[in-house]
Amino acid sequence: MNYNLNLNKETSSNEKAGTITTLKRLLALMDSERKNLFIALIFIFINAGLNLISPYLIGHAVDKFIVTKHYAGVIRYAVILLVIFVMAMFSGYTQAQLMGKVGQRMLFNLRNRLFNKLQELPIDFFNQNKAGDLISRVNNDTDKINQFFSQSFVQFMSSIFTMIGAAIFLISIDFRLGLAALSPAVILWIFTRSFSPWVKRRNTASMRSTGILSAEVQESLQNFKVIVAFNRRDYFRKRFDEVNTDNYRNAVKAGIANTVFTPVYGFLSNIGQLIVLAFGIYLIMAGQFSIGLLISFLAYITQFYNPLRQLAALWANFQVALAGWDRISQILVLENNLPLVPDAKKEKQSGMLSFRHVSFAYPSSEKEILRHVSFDLERGKTYAFVGPTGGGKTTTASLMARLYDPTSGKVLLDGVDIRSMDIETRTAKIGFILQEPFLFTGSLHDNILYGNVQNAHLSDDELLQLLSEAGLHGLLDRFEGGLNARIDSSGDGISLGQKQLIAFIRAVLRKPDVLILDEATANIDTVTEQLLEDVLQKLPSSTTRIIIAHRLNTIENADEIFFVNAGNVTKAGSLQDAVDLLLHKKRVS
């Protein structure tokens, strides 16, 4: 599956969908907010209704009391109008409050949904997309949708109610004049339909370049030490300048597109008023219309075209929200390409961990890293995987932990295809210490218990007890502050060796059946390494240990050594044979 969001058109399910379909999908996001939405809509409706009654009352008052000079009645109408205006103010306040909360909750749920989806996706997705772009989708694009729902949606619905009400009043006061007044709206409708896709496209392009900008910033901040060390600041400055310029151009284009509706709507609403004025005065002169009715009529025209003018701006916001939703749903529609394959049969005569005719190529390249590889690893033994840089050791280990699926063949754990194991079972059985351990901001205590559901709620003392039982407590001396040592996700403030220690303690405490150490001790001093070696020896005798290492002392205690190179994984024999192979003295038979 192609996971590249910026290349993969198939994942953009909304791109070709019409506005109504996309709107329905957007509204589906509000499923849990139905009740609040309904109450808000009632208040929006009441507010629009109250605002619509006033022109009629004013026109009525003019004809009944002002034209006939019965001024006492005007006071009564003024009081009624005041009550209506106060009620309208309260309903307006309530609807804004309600929708503000609905919008925030929706933003919260949407971000949660998006983040959970990101957690479900395979490593390959993260290989193909830049973190900065994903962050921009989770933060900026969801916020565009929130802005629409919490701010524009009330105005949007209120404008629609008001317009419909005003149109009904216009037509029922005088059918001919009403139709003439509304005729410019038809032109507006055609104009809006024709230009909306273009506006949405420009907004999508603008968001895409914001994502690229965010990725660029993230990349250079992450690598700033290397940039400074290699004096590459000019190069990155130039790259940033290009991306920033591109983002600026796209934002300007989107801004222009977003303002295209407003002047046209303004112009055509003025034409509507002009038509009413001319036609209305003609009807008054012909004795077919009253002054009071013309006043009401002009007010209703304003009530029809003003919201329409607002709708022009809101329509642009809506297009922005749609474009944001497009980019978000590109992620939401993705499926993990490592699905659970149910009902795998247990295979006889296999080791604890076995490769059966495994071939593998990374999805982004044609090159086969492993070709028809088969081997069996037994329970409780220690295996070393050696080979030249780029030979395929990490790839082999990744397949053992099902970070990827083989292109063909099977990986078996206890005779069962690991594709049939649910993620909890698999991760409980296989502990993987990566070359570059993952840390997050928090205490050493939190970092050690990361992903350890069973021991997640241990206190410091209980954790200390557990660590000393596992022979790991001595390693805490390497951290100032012990379990309370502050760890930063960037890894600043601690050494690479300390990072590897955390990953080691984390994995060992979970007591996995298979423990894979991928260059896990490369940056640790020899004294600490001996400590780790002792811990490894103290692991339950049933634990299978797989060690990938370049340093010979790390592999000398292995029960068996495998040599990984050029698509093959072969038994290397003794340590000396492995060294010979590494030095190319011997060819793999």
Ligand X SMILES: Nc1ncnc2c1ncn2[C@@H]1O[C@H](COP(=O)(O)OP(=O)(O)OP(=O)(O)O)[C@@H](O)[C@H]1O
Is 391 near ligand X (CB under 6 A)? Answer: yes
In the complex, the smallest distance separating the C-beta of residue 583 from ligand X, rounded to whole angstroms, is 16
Interface pick for ligand X out of 395, 447, 543, 554 (rule CB under 6 A): 395
Three-class SS of 1-49: CCCCCCCCCCCCCCCCCCHHHHHHHHHHCCHHHHHHHHHHHHHHHHHHH
- Identify which of residues 510 and 545 has a Cβ nearer to ligand X in the complex: 545
Element (H, E) at 546: strand 544-548
3-class DSSP state of 518:
strand
208 Cβ neighbours under 8 A, 6+ residues apart:
6, 250, 327
Strand arrangement of the beta sheet that strand 416-417 belongs to = 368-377, 353-361, 408-413, 416-417
Phi, psi of 474 (to 5 degrees): -60, -30
Interface pick for ligand X out of 197, 390, 474, 481 (rule CB under 6 A): 390
- Identify which of residues 32 and 364 has a Cβ nearer to ligand X in the complex: 364
In the complex, the smallest distance separating the C-beta of residue 47 from ligand X, rounded to whole angstroms, is 56
Is 389 near ligand X (CB under 6 A)? Answer: yes
- In the chain, DSSP finds a helix count (H) and a strand count (E) of 20, 12
In the complex, the smallest distance separating the C-beta of residue 227 from ligand X, rounded to whole angstroms, is 23
CA separation for the pair 160, 178 (Å, rounded): 17
The interface mask with ligand X, positions 191-230, x = CB under 6 A, is: ----------------------------------------
CA atoms within 13 A on the CB side of 336: 18
Q: Which stretch binds ligand X (CB under 6 A): 74-82, 88-96, 286-294, 358-366?
A: 358-366
Binding residue count for ligand X, defined by CB under 6 A = 13
- Identify which of residues 173 and 369 has a Cβ nearer to ligand X in the complex: 369
- Identify which of residues 314 and 369 has a Cβ nearer to ligand X in the complex: 369
CA separation for the pair 585, 534 (Å, rounded): 33
Interface pick for ligand X out of 4, 364, 465, 537 (rule CB under 6 A): 364
Q: Which stretch binds ligand X (CB under 6 A): 229-237, 387-395, 462-470, 471-479?
A: 387-395
Q: Write out the binding residues for ligand X, residues 106-145 only, by CB under 6 A.
A: 127
CB 328 within 8 Å of CB 141: yes
CB 473 within 8 Å of CB 464: yes
Q: Which stretch binds ligand X (CB under 6 A): 96-104, 212-220, 383-391, 457-465?
A: 383-391
The interface mask with ligand X, positions 71-110, x = CB under 6 A, is: ----------------------------------------
Distance (Å) of CA 299 to CA 52, 55, 338:
9, 6, 63
In the complex, the smallest distance separating the C-beta of residue 363 from ligand X, rounded to whole angstroms, is 8
Interface pick for ligand X out of 77, 195, 362, 479 (rule CB under 6 A): 362
| Nearest 10 degrees: Cα torsion 148, 12, 133, 101 | 20
Task: Quote the tokens at residue 44.
Answer: 């929006």
Q: Which stretch binds ligand X (CB under 6 A): 211-219, 259-267, 389-397, 447-455?
A: 389-397
Task: Quote the tokens at residue 246.
Answer: 């591109």
Q: Which stretch binds ligand X (CB under 6 A): 280-288, 311-319, 363-371, 373-381?
A: 363-371
Pairing relationship of beta strands 353-361 and 408-413 according to DSSP bridges: antiparallel
CA separation for the pair 589, 568 (Å, rounded): 10
- Identify which of residues 272 and 391 has a Cβ nearer to ligand X in the complex: 391
Q: Which residues bind ligand X (CB under 6 A)?
A: 127, 362, 364-365, 369, 387, 389-395
